[in-house]
Structure 1
């Protein structure tokens, strides 16, 4: 969710997943649709990004070019069609998306069945480097070019120009693609999707977008013919509605010339059609809405307003107005979130949002996720918190926190823009053009808005919040697994609302100031005993006398970030046998607890504006803190990690909150196909080893919390440390700061870790049923393989999985139309000796699950018998090699894939040294041998998840 008018890359705060889950209906091009033709910056007082090159061809087609050097020698290329499902007629619902699918099924220069092979031949992967999406107001085609030279641009622009005016709409391909689209429709169907559809109609009555979900209607898709598809295509894929977006390591003059060459000949192919009217609505008074969704794992409680405004253009004034409103939402969000540390809080997640969408609709909302038996208490609490904020406003301490956070994010945007990946920058430009908003630079954002934020007062925010929320109406919605009928729910909602609004609200008690750091500073900086330079991999290792090891690598991959991984102690592989699932429950206990001195809300207040992130996890081989910060805050980040180690907390209230989350997951498992597969598949293939299953909420009692504390605390207190640091930071400074904050800690020597063996569940079948009305199934088949070593074998299996995935796509998706995104992948363990699996996974219609399973096995058997061709090897390896070049310029790769863990497994360094050469040395003979060796049908196991009532496999 982006603020109205603010540069799309400039977020004042991260929107929690709850906002996405409950209010995805408000994101993207959902209302509309303002006329996006022409250039918005020509009508605004906002400055366009100075490096952005814009142009308009004689036929009206526009282009945007931004020279950008991350990643090097690559370019992100897009055809942005500013028309989507909103523009469909009643008889075309779903055809905008259908047209998008047909772009991959035959065009002037690429006959049916050849385009994906073409992408693979130039080193691109289907789905990763090339894809498309359809929204209400846009259809966008994406190509991440492996080479940004003239030849690479020529190849990419040829494809985009075919998308723009050269689609064939072969009737045989149309019929075949219907099955794929219907499979995608099944895959996207969910309780969340259905709830979103219902909420749209309640919150925005009479708006055209309510009836224009991009996936469309089944009957229209089934009847879709060439004439209807051509009508939509020729009407809306016209030059003035299309835009070429190019961001990358390109020469602008050359790029403009090539764009002109490929797109200037395009002409309108049908009469212009008027953009449909958006519709109107007006809410008055309080309105209540209940949408029962038994397949949801929880209940969503929503308080909202929606009102239509006079159209307003993007301007400095509109951005300042929206900024004020957004800081108010941040303040309210912090209050709602801070209450989670109180066990009496009835909800488990909550968020506040407010924004102006597409110039004409002001939306405000509070959303909370609640257990089934707590929604009434959640509704009452949210109503009172909202009224409390609107009545009494906010304190200066609260304001200072959000000011610091907002200003910090502006500064990080400036520091990090040059190393933001071109695809992400291109996406931001596309969002700006389709909103429409002026695409401004981070530097201009700071010049225009930093002082405004710095001087914003609590009174300014309160005034904006009162105006946004107003007094003319409230929209109160309860959705999800309420367990009651509409009449009962609405009656109880009205009663709760009436009682709550009658309760006076007092100004909130302000929290005490949180002080950090609070532990004594170390008395001295300890020097390492040994400093080893790993010259070929360009990093250094420092060993300290207290058994702490540091790896540090200086990079320029992320200008604004230094990343840290602190690993210690045992891991998931060493989970106590008497406490199954403990390793999967432990991270939330640590992350929700803060420190012993500062609980999570207090710690967040103390660190506001620092942009530091610290998260605890339990990896297979050890405990981990994964952290990041601005380079200038590296010393404070080390101090924060020291505090987390020396002053840990395992709070009862944190455990209780995580237990309530687990309850909601358990309920999802009862009715969600994908959630059940995600939970059960790892355990099933691992012979139901308890280390691969999270505990049920009913098992998460106080005894289990104590067991987690007893397992974690000794390692926090005493275990040897391995600290890996990578980023835009001076290695000498890193060594000094690590020596200061960790060199004096008393730590025991590393001990040999005994790992219980793990065995693959061979030749087994399992079916799980869930109580759902959604006609969908999921199937996963696994062939037992080997671990990460020998490296030649596991690399070959990874390539073999790519070949198998390509065959599955062609057979299951393109030829038979049985599934939307069937795939294959290989997983090899570096921890469990000889443990690995080559998997095939897909969704399916429940009544076709057995047929699809057989089809998957047939593809694998055919590959085993036929072997791998040279063309298949090339199509699998070339995109992989393109990706490897990117990986070497990725901080996380060096952090978690190379340096961390190299103390216990020095072979990691040799693996990275031979990464490219190892894959290049693999031959078709090698892959054919691996297929014959590992694709053994009698050893394969399969897990299927079906709706209740369907016959098992």
Structure 2
């Protein structure tokens, strides 16, 4: 199937903890060596068996005599990189009851060491090749597969050869010994312990209900504590020998090397792999059951009240054909229309805060239509009833052709954009897309072929009111219909109420469809006459960036570069950002991200804006930076003028629809309890505020402050912020410079001169040193805690070079903490060390170490962190350790530097602050010309014991009773 349909099918609600995504257990990776003799291989387009889709001939498909299937492809995005994926057709659904979690455990063990690599050496070898541990090298285990991933950032034939040797050895010869098992088992148990309890319990209850009678209900990839503790080297090796076989493996290699070489390396390193014992049969994943409970309730006060309805059918994706895709496209249009109606109702003020439907194939076990509903307040019955009415309306009454055409126009726009940007699609994206296709019995084809399939369906008039109405009926018919509700307090009648809502007869709302045909860009408020350019200069030669000033004070940074075909990035910075907000009192600024864009502009609200931009390559995002508010989007040269007009009108003539403000308020209050539900939730709520000495510009507002939000005080804050202060427009990408300057002149250059706005607040204040950690508590799992230690550094554009070098220090600190806290002690799965140097603030930077750990290990975390800091102060690091930190950082920068967004981020704010432009020129020196002595000097300067600050998040003393389920 083509990627558009796969990605669009489930892009619905931003309620990620309830999404029907297949759980994936992430892990980090290993290193390289040499090879075997080549053997004969066969060209074999195995991916397209039983498919009539156009083959993507850029891929070279083959099969080795031992059964290993492979695909190789040359791709130069980003330059120099090669991405390798090794997929094993074995996930948690292949486990027996006593093996639960073994597929994921084996993934961990494979990375520790193998026949070619001693225990622990993989990471160090790959770091020397510029690989970032956990980003460029990782793996994932799902219900149906285990995928090993390696992205070599600057791949040489020798480095790739060594890497392929290591990966092959990990597949057929991992070191599964009592010693490696006992070393890695605590890491896996730590990963299980760190999962969010309430969300996990809800998902468990949901899977128990919706996949009752199928292995999927009881086969989470993480496994169970009991089976993981009972695992032995012998039992894990038995699982490996049974499932890690060449005929169950797919090897994908794509990158900036010749295809023939890539194929030769697959042949060289994977041909001698032989399976151990007889080949197993893939177990039967079962079918949705018609018997059993149809409803369930669970009480989890720390996650939003939520109702979920599902309609399940047997999974039947046995061949990927043109007609299969076209029929699914009709289903997709039906779902899109439903979701648009649901969102329109929610925006206007309804009984539900958010609702959405999705159509997904789940783990080769079922095809599922799911509906998620978040009620306003406690009345989930009314919300679910109203959502059912909207669905019934779609089933009973055919949509208008205008509604269908709107969805088709958006789909077509997206597909055309993918065609135009196909030349710059990264090898990583293409490799991951192919892996996904293999996992769900589908194929890949070219963007043009995908579009041709779509246009073929349009030309055949497959998208009519009758066919879309029939699809609306079809996606809500199935083997089993079930529903689950999460409550915030026990209700003995909840199951009875839920059954009553499900069985109640509902009919369509009968409300007329909104007619948005009148919505045009020409109807937006008029701007003034095009502005005059007062100066123009090249501020950076390599890459070439120009600064253009207009008579009204607006400045433009522009870079014409066609390396990303069809992509133009737009960033509009205005006002003073956090520095323009008061530091001595709370404000409604926190609601800006959710409500400011949705509040509309001119006479248009969010509904009209969607209609205006849906079939165009136009975006509209907002965020707050240290020293500016930011509107940003990705567009193209054709749509650039209207993109700029939309942003300019937002500043000149904003609308103040109260519904988005009320919706943000209600939604934030509904999720507020979750901010105490786990250590990481408490950190997300409190840490930023604490690290800024309680400054209200950072951190999370209190429940009382959220409750005090009104449309009136929201407007009172934001109206003057939109109207004052400097404007810097940055436009980088596949553009024409002269036309771009004219477009800015006609929009932002046409605005009236804006009143100046001085920064009303200073920089950030790092908290004072404390002898004992600040203590916060959480209401979640009693075996979960978190610990944080931080040291102040600095900020400001004059110190950018120093900030970059501190990143290297932090990378070395992080590597040591991971080795000692995770790999050796097994105390934490995901410890981290990060550096923050705020360019838009004169201070407020920090180095911070953080770990999710058991409650009794907090002292150990602080002791270890301070010992690492003291050692970095006491003596220089080795050159090898420095190289293993610098190389991945530098390779990441090189990869990003091939994209225009990288240079835009570096120069943001540079129109008014030349130091930011000058700092671009020293980036190579800052990262590459750094010595062990420099690292030690930075540690001496910043890792000062008398200045550190620490925090712990511990479970509440009274253990809460387990959630009740009915």
Whether the TM-score (by the shorter chain) exceeds 0.5 is: yes
The separation in 2 between residues aligned to 1:397 and 1:914, in whole angstroms, is 55
Q: In the alignment, is residue 854 of structure 1 matched against residue 863 of structure 2?
A: yes
The separation in 2 between residues aligned to 1:848 and 1:309, in whole angstroms, is 46
- Helix, strand or coil at the partner of 2:339: helix
Q: 1:474 to 1:165 in 2, by over 3 A?
A: closer
Residue deviations 1:822-851 (CA, integer Å, cap 9, x gap)? 121111122332321111011011232233
Q: In the alignment, is residue 778 of structure 1 matched against residue 782 of structure 2?
A: no
Runs of 4+ in structure 1 off by over 4 angstroms are: 25-29, 356-360, 520-524, 701-705, 749-752
Query: Contact 1:552/1:724 (CA < 8 Å) preserved in 2?
Result: yes
- Helix, strand or coil at the partner of 1:821: coil
The separation in 2 between residues aligned to 1:904 and 1:711, in whole angstroms, is 25
Higher deviation after alignment, 371-380 or 67-76:
371-380
Q: Residue 584 of structure 1: CA displacement?
A: 2.0
Correspondence for 1:316 among 300, 314, 322: 322
- Helix, strand or coil at the partner of 2:176: coil
Query: What residue in structure 2 maps to residue 947 of structure 1?
Result: 955
Q: 1:822 to 1:269 in 2, by over 3 A?
A: same
- Helix, strand or coil at the partner of 1:743: helix
Q: Residue 489 of structure 1: CA displacement?
A: 0.9
Q: Residue 549 of structure 1: CA displacement?
A: 0.5
Query: What residue in structure 2 maps to residue 33 of structure 1?
Result: none
Q: Residue 861 of structure 1: CA displacement?
A: 2.4
Correspondence for 1:733 among 716, 736, 739: 739
Q: In the alignment, is residue 563 of structure 1 matched against residue 569 of structure 2?
A: yes
Query: What residue in structure 1 maps to residue 891 of structure 2?
Result: 882
Q: Residue 610 of structure 1: CA displacement?
A: 0.8
- Helix, strand or coil at the partner of 1:354: strand
The separation in 2 between residues aligned to 1:27 and 1:519, in whole angstroms, is 44
Q: 1:123 to 1:505 in 2, by over 3 A?
A: closer
The separation in 1 between residues aligned to 2:266 and 2:513, in whole angstroms, is 61
Query: What residue in structure 1 maps to residue 415 of structure 2?
Result: 410
Q: In the alignment, is residue 922 of structure 1 matched against residue 922 of structure 2?
A: no
Query: What residue in structure 2 maps to residue 492 of structure 1?
Result: 497
Query: What residue in structure 1 maps to residue 457 of structure 2?
Result: 452
Q: In the alignment, is residue 790 of structure 1 matched against residue 796 of structure 2?
A: no
The separation in 2 between residues aligned to 1:180 and 1:353, in whole angstroms, is 35
Q: 1:380 to 1:660 in 2, by over 3 A?
A: same
The separation in 2 between residues aligned to 1:215 and 1:248, in whole angstroms, is 32
Query: What residue in structure 2 maps to residue 651 of structure 1?
Result: 657
The separation in 1 between residues aligned to 2:5 and 2:822, in whole angstroms, is 36
Q: Residue 742 of structure 1: CA displacement?
A: 2.0
Query: What residue in structure 1 maps to residue 17 of structure 2?
Result: 21
Correspondence for 1:869 among 868, 878, 883: 878
Correspondence for 1:671 among 655, 661, 677: 677
- Helix, strand or coil at the partner of 1:565: strand
Correspondence for 1:506 among 488, 505, 510: 510
- Helix, strand or coil at the partner of 1:632: coil
Alignment of 1:117-516 (within 5 A): 117-283=124-290, 287-296=294-303, 298-308=304-314, 312-343=318-349, 345-357=350-362, 361-453=366-458, 455=461, 456-470=463-477, 474-479=481-486, 481-485=487-491, 487-498=492-503, 501=505, 505-516=509-520
Query: Contact 2:535/2:549 (CA < 8 Å) preserved in 1?
Result: yes
- Helix, strand or coil at the partner of 1:276: coil
Query: What residue in structure 1 maps to residue 601 of structure 2?
Result: 595
The separation in 2 between residues aligned to 1:527 and 1:45, in whole angstroms, is 57
Correspondence for 2:918 among 900, 910, 914: 910
Query: Contact 1:568/1:719 (CA < 8 Å) preserved in 2?
Result: yes
Q: Residue 609 of structure 1: CA displacement?
A: 1.0
The separation in 2 between residues aligned to 1:42 and 1:28, in whole angstroms, is 27
Q: Residue 360 of structure 1: CA displacement?
A: 6.6
Q: Residue 884 of structure 1: CA displacement?
A: 1.4
Q: TM-score w.r.t. structure 2 length? A: 0.93
Q: 1:281 to 1:341 in 2, by over 3 A?
A: closer
Q: 1:554 to 1:138 in 2, by over 3 A?
A: same
Query: What residue in structure 1 maps to residue 641 of structure 2?
Result: 635
Q: Residue 683 of structure 1: CA displacement?
A: 0.8
- Helix, strand or coil at the partner of 1:158: helix
Query: Contact 1:388/1:508 (CA < 8 Å) preserved in 2?
Result: no
Q: In the alignment, is residue 108 of structure 1 matched against residue 118 of structure 2?
A: no
Correspondence for 1:7 among 3, 6, 9: 3
Higher deviation after alignment, 864-873 or 12-21:
12-21
Query: Contact 2:196/2:678 (CA < 8 Å) preserved in 1?
Result: no
Q: Residue 95 of structure 1: CA displacement?
A: 1.0
Q: 1:311 to 1:730 in 2, by over 3 A?
A: closer
Query: What residue in structure 1 maps to residue 944 of structure 2?
Result: 936
Query: Contact 1:286/1:474 (CA < 8 Å) preserved in 2?
Result: no
The separation in 1 between residues aligned to 2:256 and 2:614, in whole angstroms, is 36
Query: What residue in structure 2 maps to residue 830 of structure 1?
Result: 839
Q: Residue 817 of structure 1: CA displacement?
A: 0.9
Query: Contact 2:553/2:753 (CA < 8 Å) preserved in 1?
Result: yes
Q: 1:817 to 1:625 in 2, by over 3 A?
A: same
Residue deviations 1:529-562 (CA, integer Å, cap 9, x gap)? 1111232331111111010111111223432321
The separation in 1 between residues aligned to 2:452 and 2:355, in whole angstroms, is 33
Q: 1:453 to 1:14 in 2, by over 3 A?
A: farther
Q: Residue 807 of structure 1: CA displacement?
A: 0.6
Query: Contact 1:610/1:633 (CA < 8 Å) preserved in 2?
Result: yes
Higher deviation after alignment, 804-813 or 191-200:
191-200
Q: 1:96 to 1:286 in 2, by over 3 A?
A: closer
Query: Contact 2:652/2:751 (CA < 8 Å) preserved in 1?
Result: no
Residue deviations 1:696-737 (CA, integer Å, cap 9, x gap)? 343245676434423322343344321000111111110011
The separation in 2 between residues aligned to 1:523 and 1:581, in whole angstroms, is 33
Query: What residue in structure 1 maps to residue 34 of structure 2?
Result: none
**How many residue pairs are counted as aligned between the two chains?**
934
Query: Contact 1:283/1:306 (CA < 8 Å) preserved in 2?
Result: no
Q: 1:254 to 1:498 in 2, by over 3 A?
A: closer
Q: 1:181 to 1:64 in 2, by over 3 A?
A: same
Query: Contact 1:589/1:650 (CA < 8 Å) preserved in 2?
Result: no
Residue deviations 1:51-99 (CA, integer Å, cap 9, x gap)? 1110001111111112111001111111111111111122111111111
Q: Residue 113 of structure 1: CA displacement?
A: 1.8
Gaps of 5+ in 2: 26-43, 960-966
Query: Contact 2:724/2:755 (CA < 8 Å) preserved in 1?
Result: no
Query: Contact 1:566/1:722 (CA < 8 Å) preserved in 2?
Result: yes
Q: 1:75 to 1:655 in 2, by over 3 A?
A: same
Query: What residue in structure 1 maps to residue 36 of structure 2?
Result: none
Q: In the alignment, is residue 52 of structure 1 matched against residue 59 of structure 2?
A: yes
Query: Contact 1:313/1:359 (CA < 8 Å) preserved in 2?
Result: no
Query: Contact 2:311/2:479 (CA < 8 Å) preserved in 1?
Result: no
The separation in 2 between residues aligned to 1:502 and 1:755, in whole angstroms, is 56
Correspondence for 1:528 among 512, 525, 533: 533
Correspondence for 1:94 among 101, 117, 122: 101
Query: What residue in structure 2 maps to residue 744 of structure 1?
Result: 750
Q: Residue 937 of structure 1: CA displacement?
A: 2.3
Query: What residue in structure 1 maps to residue 698 of structure 2?
Result: 692
Q: Residue 942 of structure 1: CA displacement?
A: 1.2
Q: Residue 510 of structure 1: CA displacement?
A: 2.9
- Helix, strand or coil at the partner of 2:227: helix
Higher deviation after alignment, 436-445 or 360-369:
360-369
Query: Contact 2:665/2:706 (CA < 8 Å) preserved in 1?
Result: yes
The separation in 2 between residues aligned to 1:14 and 1:942, in whole angstroms, is 41
Q: Residue 155 of structure 1: CA displacement?
A: 2.1
The separation in 2 between residues aligned to 1:802 and 1:727, in whole angstroms, is 31
Q: Residue 658 of structure 1: CA displacement?
A: 0.7
Q: Residue 754 of structure 1: CA displacement?
A: 4.5
Q: 1:158 to 1:231 in 2, by over 3 A?
A: same
User: RMSD of the TM alignment (CA)?
Assistant: 2.4
Q: In the alignment, is residue 820 of structure 1 matched against residue 814 of structure 2?
A: no
The separation in 1 between residues aligned to 2:513 and 2:334, in whole angstroms, is 18
Q: 1:419 to 1:185 in 2, by over 3 A?
A: same
Query: Contact 1:9/1:413 (CA < 8 Å) preserved in 2?
Result: no
